[in-house]
Structure 1
Amino acid sequence: MLDVILGADALRAPLTGIGRYAYELALRLERHEDVSRVRYFSLGRWLDNPLEGLGAKSTEDVAESGIAIAERKTLRTRLAKSPFMVRMYGKVTPTLFGWRLRGNQNAIYHSPNYIVPPFPGRTLSTVLDLSHILCPQFHPPARVDYLNMTLGPSLARTDHVIAISETVRQEIVERGLMPAGRVTAIHLAADAAFRPHDRQMLEPAMQALGLQAGQYALFVGTVEPRKNVERLVQAYGLLPMDLRRECPLVIAGGQGWNSESVHVRMARAQDEGWLRYMAFVDQRWLPALYAGARLMAYPSLYEGFGLPIIEAMASGTPVLTSTTSCMPEVAGGAARLVDPHDVEAIAHALLECLDDEAWRAGARAQGLQRAARLSWDRCAEETIQVYKHLA
């Protein structure tokens, strides 16, 4: 039987991509027959039940719960903007956290978010991507400094690594960060709330959001340089005005780092009547927002996995995404791929995808098949097999 300690830093509302991964994994560890107990450790503290704190008991409950609230600015998020404080945090916390984890040599410690503290037992880290190494310009300097300072020592005390795509696994091995035999690729999945909706199911969300089903293209994600939103908006602006106004671009996501210029461009497009920006979407409307879109446009420059791709596919929404990074791997042949650096190519692909009903029907069927092959149950089961190997 397995005794698991799960790093729970990301298990807080609202659930980000990392938080969603940790949450779905924790739910399944709690009820798995091979796991004797699960304990949670976050920022040097033991947590009794962080899942209960989120107010959701199952994946179905997540869509109906009140977890999609505006994120609170904590002391930690404020300190994260200071390079000096980040360096101090990276130097002091390993010793402190290691002391609080002492006496657990028979357990397995799993960090779903890169960093493993000193630990007397077996250790496992999930590395979501290497963007801080491959494209540091996409992050605030303090975050890059922190990961450059802490990831190497963390991997030195890590017995095995989970990469969330084969692309990331190869990046880890090629850069000599971990031997190939100690890195396993395990794909993420879409929540069960993301599924096709009929007109009746879509209507409440469409009314609440002021949209018409099938009459908008969608991007979901933080507005930041890595997501390539500026080129997406530029490309959409090259489409015929009649099409843009009939089928506006909806961008749903918070304002991220270094995004001032794209917000200016988005505001201009919104004034012209062909773009809608939603800084926040209530969690209960998000599945319908996906399912009601004519197209999911996700030309990101770099991803470790790209959850919105699979969430859209699971919702029955055709996907346009990038030829770069892990996007072709995740799409699995079920999406239209485009060079994310080429604005004219993005515009051409957008026009074809929005106009071609036959392509959209085929992409919808292929996407549903692809999403069905990726489940959180499978993700958890493959993770537990890694635990067994370590034990």
Structure 2
Amino acid sequence: MHIGINAQLLSYSQSYRNSGVSRYIRRLLEGLAQEPGEHCYTIFINGPQVEEQLAAVARHPQLTYISAPWPEEQPVRRVAWEQLKLPGELRQRRIQLLHSPVNVLPFRLPADCHGVVTLHDLAFLRFPEVLTGPKRLYQRTFTLHSLRRATLIIAVSDSTRRDAIELLSLPAERLRTVYPCIDARFTASQQDEQAVRALRAHYGLESGFILYLGTLEPRKNLDTLIEAFARLKRQQGIREKLVLAGSKGWLYDSIFARVRSLGLESEVLFPGFIADSEQVLWYHAATAFAYPSLYEGFGLPVAEALACGLPVVTSTVSSLPEAGSGVALTVEPRDVDALANALYRALSDEAYRQHCRAMASTVAERFSLRTMARQMRAVYEEALSEKPPEPQQPEPWSQRKEQHVSSLE
């Protein structure tokens, strides 16, 4: 069978674009390159430099890469290609199924082409205030239509699957949960201690540090993390610093303002974007990991940190307990005292720290590349055995879920 994958959001840039969904796409392609099954794949990417990078990790005779001429950092042009040009490519190449790994299918697929879409989250419905206006508009226009048009929908967690059923009344039989995978590099195996010491010395972190790794944006709840860290400093006198690693996303000014208002400029570090190749070293250099997000479709950094044997504190909400695998400490995300107490335990409770190291391999196996690739192929094969749904006009979901209307106004 001939399967197409819209990988336009795969990026190797040194910015927030090379995180989250970009890494999800990269891991998917690596998994299919290792075990493509009997199918052939045409993968639409952005630029020859992306193909050069993929050549080292996702090359196989059954995978063909097609480079689109419009760069992904120009969203309007990328969306125009996705909606206007891609359907013609599908017809010309006789692609039987298109997988869009990031929420959105073309509005009009060829009549004989099935659509599979990965739904990462419904944050634009749950927390519309943490997205910019253009992002909300794009998601409400294209994601909702894509979910109704798709033959099957891949949810990255059971939490996201439940959201789709609750908020959009999507039929449960069209939803499949396939967890993202973590790279095999994220393990508790011994790291180069000299490199770990060098990283700590370079940033002045010899006394240890609490690590957050992700985009700097409101949904990550970093204001609360900074407040909890300040209380630990005052009440427990901890020596560790706080590292908020990652690129600036959007609406991030309050994060820096909170650090200044608490007088923590020397105690909170912002190293910026961390290259994929360096992330394992940061996990192994850290003393504990914090990810108190308000909402996540999955929360991959939580699983990565646990697979490295690192004590983790995360939230009780959305998919984060799934990513935490019963190992991470979970707290209500807005509860500053509870977050501070959990962080202190992660830093000081040696029995818990040993438990995290012991469970690392179990977490790594649960979210392995091979598991994800096999489950994804099974979804493709199931979708291809069904009749594509008839094109529909998007229904006004707000008429069916009145309680969510006010959050979108």
TM-score of the superposed pair, with normalisation by structure 1: 0.85
- Structure 1 contact 195–291 (Cα < 8 Å) conserved: no
Distance 1:167 1:360, change over 3 A: same
Q: Quote the residue 1:302 is aligned against.
A: 295
Distance 1:279 1:23, change over 3 A: same
Offset at residue 324 of structure 1 (A): 0.7
Q: Provide the rounded CA distance (Å) in 2 between the counterparts of 1:273 and 1:382.
A: 46
- Structure 2 contact 4–95 (Cα < 8 Å) conserved: no
Q: Provide the rounded CA distance (Å) in 2 between the counterparts of 1:250 and 1:244.
A: 17
Q: Provide the rounded CA distance (Å) in 2 between the counterparts of 1:292 and 1:141.
A: 38
**1:206 and 2:200 are equivalent in the alignment:** yes
TM-score of the superposed pair, with normalisation by structure 2: 0.81
Residues 355-375 of structure 1, C-alpha deviation per residue, up to 9 Å, x if partnerless?
212221113323442232211
CA RMSD, Structure 1 to Structure 2 (Å): 2.6
Offset at residue 299 of structure 1 (A): 0.7
Q: Provide the rounded CA distance (Å) in 2 between the counterparts of 1:100 and 1:222.
A: 33
Q: Quote the residue 1:39 is aligned against.
A: 42
Distance 1:13 1:106, change over 3 A: closer
**1:350 and 2:339 are equivalent in the alignment:** no
For the residue of structure 1 that corresponds to 2:12, the secondary structure is coil
Offset at residue 246 of structure 1 (A): 1.7
Q: Quote the residue 2:19 is aligned against.
A: 16
**1:235 and 2:228 are equivalent in the alignment:** yes
Offset at residue 32 of structure 1 (A): 2.6
Distance 1:277 1:165, change over 3 A: same
Q: Provide the rounded CA distance (Å) in 1 between the counterparts of 2:100 and 2:215.
A: 23
Give the gaps of 5 or more residues in structure 1.
60-73
Residues 152-175 of structure 1, C-alpha deviation per residue, up to 9 Å, x if partnerless?
222232101100001101111223
- Structure 1 contact 3–35 (Cα < 8 Å) conserved: no
**1:327 and 2:343 are equivalent in the alignment:** no
Give the gaps of 5 or more residues in structure 2.
59-69, 385-409
Q: Provide the rounded CA distance (Å) in 1 between the counterparts of 2:198 and 2:278.
A: 8
Q: Which amino acid aligns with 1:162?
A: I
- Structure 2 contact 187–307 (Cα < 8 Å) conserved: yes
1:119 to 109, 113, 116: 109
Q: Quote the residue 2:387 is aligned against.
A: none
For the residue of structure 1 that corresponds to 2:145, the secondary structure is helix
Residues 234-275 of structure 1, C-alpha deviation per residue, up to 9 Å, x if partnerless?
110011349666211111011221111211223566755322
Q: Provide the rounded CA distance (Å) in 1 between the counterparts of 2:54 and 2:89.
A: 27
Distance 1:244 1:383, change over 3 A: farther
Give the 5 Å matches for 1:1-391: 2-14=1-13, 15-42=18-45, 52-54=51-53, 57-58=56-57, 77=73, 80=75, 94-105=83-94, 107-117=96-106, 118-120=108-110, 121-196=113-188, 197-198=190-191, 199-200=193-194, 202-212=196-206, 215-241=208-234, 246-267=239-260, 273-391=266-384
Q: Provide the rounded CA distance (Å) in 2 between the counterparts of 1:363 and 1:93.
A: 43
Offset at residue 340 of structure 1 (A): 0.5
Distance 1:368 1:293, change over 3 A: farther
Distance 1:93 1:390, change over 3 A: closer
Q: Which amino acid aligns with 1:355?
A: S
- Structure 1 contact 335–367 (Cα < 8 Å) conserved: no
- Structure 2 contact 292–314 (Cα < 8 Å) conserved: yes
Distance 1:318 1:241, change over 3 A: same
% identity of equivalent residues: 30
Offset at residue 51 of structure 1 (A): 5.3
Q: Which amino acid aligns with 2:294?
A: L
- Structure 1 contact 296–318 (Cα < 8 Å) conserved: yes
- Structure 1 contact 90–149 (Cα < 8 Å) conserved: no
Q: Provide the rounded CA distance (Å) in 2 between the counterparts of 1:249 and 1:50.
A: 35
- Structure 1 contact 30–38 (Cα < 8 Å) conserved: no
Distance 1:327 1:162, change over 3 A: same
Q: Provide the rounded CA distance (Å) in 2 between the counterparts of 1:378 and 1:31.
A: 12
Q: Quote the residue 1:71 is aligned against.
A: none
- Structure 1 contact 353–360 (Cα < 8 Å) conserved: yes
Distance 1:167 1:174, change over 3 A: same
The structure whose RCO (Cα within 8 Å, separation 6+) is larger is 2
